[in-house]
Amino acid sequence: MGLGPIVFLAVAIGIAGCIVSAYSGLVQLRVRAESSWSDGDMQLKRRQYLIPNVVKTVQGYVAHERGTFENLAKFRSAAMDATTAAERAAAERQLTSALKSLFAVAENYPQLRASEEFWLAQASIQDVENNIQEARRCYNAIVRNYNRKLQSFPTNILGNSFGFQPKELFQVDTFAGKGGGCGQTLRQDSGSQASGIGAAVSAQQRDRTL
């Protein structure tokens, strides 16, 4: 057996290895993006679940702010009914804006702000907002990497051949502070959350008595 066939076989194996490696990389990135989207989706749904409780608390003090409550209900429904990332992002941005308006209204009512029930509801929303911001950053970082590979040679040829499609970035505003890095686990333990909020409330109450 001559040297030529051996070289050809080695090159063919090398090319096949590159193709398998590139394909595997695209699959892994797609799976990671879908997993990260699932994390963010869960946090957004959690916020939607908490909103009625916030509205109920605020309505007891400022029932005349009808427009604010109607906007929250409308944008919450739009977010729940959205079918694409773009529609979801637009609805969630409007929902965030409506929440900002609600808490801005609350600032004008000292009795409401002093309510422990309102403080707990606000703290729960704030916790979810932090998680949404963290999940959004993680998802967008993975998607940028995935889309970049789909646009780069030679993975763009492989991507087109196997039906890989670019993914949309998820742009949604929050009014939370900066969250942790993408490597951190999203805070989903309701027991730990309740404990942390309860401790904060106790501290706030102690401050009031001083």
**Contact assessment for residue 27 and residue 116, using Cβ atoms and an 8 Å cutoff:** no
- What is the average pLDDT across 167-184? 62
Asked which of 96-110, 162-176, 179-193 is least confident by mean pLDDT, the reply is 179-193
- φ, ψ of residue 77 to 5 degrees: the values are -65, -40
Structurally, the chain folds into a number of domains equal to 1
* Alpha-carbon span 206 to 26, nearest angstrom: 54
- For 20-58, how does the pLDDT look when each residue is reduced to its tens digit (9 = 90+)? 888 888 999 999 999 988 888 899 999 999 999 888 888
* Alpha-carbon span 202 to 200, nearest angstrom: 5
Q: 155 is written with which tokens?
A: 């993975």
Is the pLDDT at 188 greater than 80, yes or no? no
Q: Which domain holds residue 171?
A: 3-209
Query: What is the CATH number for 141?
Result: 1.20.1440.20
Quote the pTM value.
0.71
**1 vs 32: which has the higher pLDDT:** 32
Task: Write down the pLDDT at residue 6.
Answer: 76
